[in-house]
Amino acid sequence: MSHLRKPTVSVVVPVYQENENVELLYREICDALDPMENDYELVIVDDGSNDGTVQQLKHIAADDRVKLVLFRRNYGQTAAMNAGINHASGRYIVTMDGDLQNDPRDIPMMIAKLDEGYDLVHGWRKDRQDEWLSRKLPSKIANWLISKATGFPIHDLGCTLKAMRCEIAQDLELYGEMHRFIPILADQLGARSIEVVTHHRARQFGETKYGIGRTFRVILDLITVRYMQKYFASPMKLFGMIGIWTGLLGLCSLTLTGAMKLIGNIDMTGNPLLLLGILSAVLAVQFFSLGLLGEVAARIYYSQHHRQNYRIRDLVNFSHNPVTLKMYPNKAA
């Protein structure tokens, strides 16, 4: 059956080595969304699977509501989600995991919240069905730390199940492990968001591909997000201020060193204040330099075309490349 109308809802699902889950995932999403009045599409991004997942995906792509984006290799969950969002054409974009732990039956409720006027609805796995020590405890610590560091109140930043308006989704800058920071990034864009309790289920098949090993990468991305919140547009406010205080420290140290020499006739060889003064002066120059370089980099960023952090092997059920049309609308026929 052909669906020629532009869909209202695009469900974006990154998958990696989910051979046993693909068919069930497709059926559950269809069962959940078919009763809705809104047309929908299912945009599945394969993140370089080699276990037969691609064959399963091409099988369900007999339904032309299923759009496939097939990566050349494994780029990571954030890149896969970014590609799915860029290739989605719906007014509302829903993101979810491909491991069947998110429940597609929550999607209509989240779409209804968007209809109430919200820009982003993010899920809260209040009754999370995962191992406590290896998954739930690190997640609780991370959510608390991120909430305190960013000032953004949230219970479950790691829940992939989210619904958002396309204009918000397609303005997001996703790289590294940034997909988990979507609510915070959307808040920076002025999005009106709400957190809702969603169902969470134990994994039926396979094993998680994204475990505790990425914790340190998430911490580094948290530092990046905090920097972007306050200083991304004007890095000199951060590095320049550090340079000022470092320079003042150096000036005080050198002044004390000079006073000790003039008044007390103390030998300056190996004087720690002299060394501190010289080191502080050098650091002050370096911080000011970083601030200037950051200002130049920020202006280059704002003036250049958006670049993608992934490469696509094939597209299935697309009549054109939506990314090209969004980036270069004059190339449309």
User: Would you give per-residue pLDDT tens digits along the chain (333 residues)?
Assistant: 445 568 999 999 999 999 999 999 999 999 999 999 889 999 999 999 998 999 999 999 999 999 999 999 998 888 999 999 999 999 999 999 988 889 999 999 999 999 999 999 999 888 776 665 656 666 677 777 777 777 777 778 778 899 999 999 988 888 777 788 888 889 888 899 999 999 888 777 656 555 555 566 667 777 777 777 777 777 888 888 888 999 999 999 888 888 887 887 777 677 788 888 889 999 999 988 888 887 777 667 656 655 566 778 888 888 765 544 444 344 343
Give me Rg for the CA atoms of the chain.
Answer: 25
**Does 326 map to a domain?**
no
- Same domain flag for 215 and 298: no
**Nearest-angstrom CA–CA distance, 237 and 249:** 18
**Nearest-angstrom CA–CA distance, 65 and 109:** 21
**Does 77 map to a domain?**
yes
- Same domain flag for 153 and 265: no
Number of domains making up the chain: 2
Residue (of 59, 53, 161, 160) closest to 104 by Cα position: 161
- Same domain flag for 125 and 201: yes
Indicate the residue among 231, 248, 268 that finishes a domain. Answer: 231
- Same domain flag for 39 and 75: yes
The neighbour count for residue 154, using CB atoms within 10 Å, is 19
Q: What is the pLDDT of residue 248?
A: 92
**Nearest-angstrom CA–CA distance, 271 and 308:** 53
Per the structure, the complete domain to which residue 112 belongs is given by 9-231
Q: What is the pLDDT of residue 206?
A: 59
- Same domain flag for 185 and 281: no
> Which H or E run contains 258?
helix 236-264
- Same domain flag for 135 and 149: yes
- Same domain flag for 88 and 124: yes
Q: What is the pLDDT of residue 330?
A: 42
Q: Which residue has the tokens 């099988």?
A: 59
**Nearest-angstrom CA–CA distance, 40 and 11:** 7
Q: What is the pLDDT of residue 212?
A: 53
**Does 261 map to a domain?**
yes
Q: What is the pLDDT of residue 2?
A: 46
- Same domain flag for 256 and 221: no
Residues in the chain: 333
DSSP H helical ranges for 90-235 = 107-115, 137-150, 166-169, 182-188, 215-231
pTM for this prediction:
0.71
- Same domain flag for 109 and 143: yes
Q: Residue 195, SS3?
A: strand
Indicate the residue among 231, 263, 282 that finishes a domain. Answer: 231
Amino acid at site 321:
N
Indicate the residue among 231, 255, 277 that finishes a domain. Answer: 231
Q: Which two tokens stand for residue 72?
A: 């050349």
Q: What is the pLDDT of residue 232?
A: 73
**Nearest-angstrom CA–CA distance, 222 and 77:** 17
- Same domain flag for 74 and 219: yes
Strand partners, 197: 124
Q: Report, in this order, helix, strand and coil percent for the chain, each rounded to 5.
A: 50, 15, 35
